[in-house]
Amino acid sequence: MTSQSLKQSSKYCFCTLALGANYCNLALELAKDLKQYSPTIPLVILTDRPQKFSQVTNVLAFPHRQQSIGCYHDKRFAIAKALSLFNSCIFIDADMRILASVPDDLSWQPGITARIAWHNILKHNKNKLEINILNNIAHKLNLDLTDITFVHECLFVVTRDKGRELEFLKNWEKIAAYCELHKFYRGEGHTIGLAAAQAGIEIRTNPMPEIKFFKDKLELNKIKSGKIERSEVDIYLDKQKKLEYPRKSILFRFINKISSIIMYLYRSLRLRVLTIRDIKFYYQ
């Protein structure tokens, strides 16, 4: 199937971010699942290794270099690219798996539809330093943090909303920069909630029973609580561990560590240069 026919075959797509060899290999497994169970639904991937997906017929791969310090907030670029092509996109983490057919006629209301969301960030996050950062952002944006919804970022849908989705993505960029300047590198679920509120985008929850998936952390929580047996998901847990944490030589790990430090310093400096244009918001 060609890129053009992929774009014409569905009103929505899946999208993900795959940076580094390990996550590209995980994304390839996700692509295989979708090709098996839902071959007409495209998977949009932003990646630093687009050549890895050149022969995968259900994938639209676009080159991308990591922008944010912790990489988590780069998910917004995958969503932006997907929404430039489709009316709706399902963001899914690259390390997840699809376990059954997904209907190709799914539709969602404008805005954000989250499979998992908590309608009060303060109840979800008990870290005082992070809450202080989020409170500062909310104050600067004239928002009440108790009204902000936390969106679990592993699986959620964004649907075009008369341009408000573009404002949402722009807000995400600004809020993410503030968080990373204050060394809060994760927490994109908080940022999604704040950015949506600022843009006037509604966040709805939907269990999405039509999408059967595997996510390691969610499955491990089910095992811990006794909801499932480990044997039910062992094959997926073992496969993910092998791909996400492959054995590497000491020399490779050393070089990778040095490279990571250099890139951290570069991205930190770049962030400070980019945010100097708005000293009042970022530094006061």
Helix (H, G, I), strand (E, B) or coil at 182: coil
Question: Are residues 68 and 134 part of one domain?
Answer: yes
Alpha carbon distance 13, 29 (integer Å): 17
Alpha helices in the chain (DSSP H): 3-9, 20-37, 75-83, 121-124, 128-140, 164-181, 188-199, 216-224, 234-244, 250-275, 279-283
pLDDT in tens, 96-106: 999 999 999 99
Of the three residues 195, 214, 233, the one that is the final residue of a domain is: 214
Quick one: how far is CA 243 from the chain centroid? 19
pLDDT tens readout for residues 204-242? 999 999 999 999 999 999 999 999 999 999 999 999 999
> Nearest 5 degrees, angle CA 165-CA 168-CA 174?
150
| CATH of residue 148 | 3.90.550.10
Instruction: Say what the pLDDT of residue 95 is.
Output: 96
In terms of pLDDT, which residue wins out, 120 or 3?
A: 120
**Cα gap 279→259, rounded to integer Å:** 30
- Tens of pLDDT along 20-45? 999 999 999 999 999 999 999 999 99
Same domain? For 15 and 119 the reply is yes
Q: Binning pLDDT at 50, 70 and 90, where does residue 8 land?
A: low
Same domain, residue pair 186 and 106: yes
Residue 4 has pLDDT above 70, yes or no: no
Interval 97-134: pLDDT, tens: 999 999 999 999 999 999 999 988 887 788 999 999 99
Is 134:121 a contact under the CB 8 Å cutoff? yes
Q: In 97-147, which residue ranges form alpha helices assigned H by DSSP? A: 121-124, 128-140
Question: Could you say which of 164, 195, 214 is where a domain stops?
Answer: 214
The pTM for the full model equals 0.94
- If asked whether residues 162 and 227 sit together in one domain, one would say no
What's the number of domains the chain is made of?
2
Portion of the chain with pLDDT greater than 70, in percent: 97
Let me know whether 82 and 201 are in one domain.
yes
Distance between terminal CA atoms of the chain? 52
| pLDDT mean across residues, the chain | 94
Among 184, 214, 244, the domain-final residue is 214
Cα distances (angstroms) measured from residue 62 to each of 17, 19, 29, 156, 220: 10, 12, 18, 21, 32
191 and 223 inside one domain: no
Is the per-residue pLDDT at 264 higher than 90?
yes
Which two tokens mark 136?
């500062």
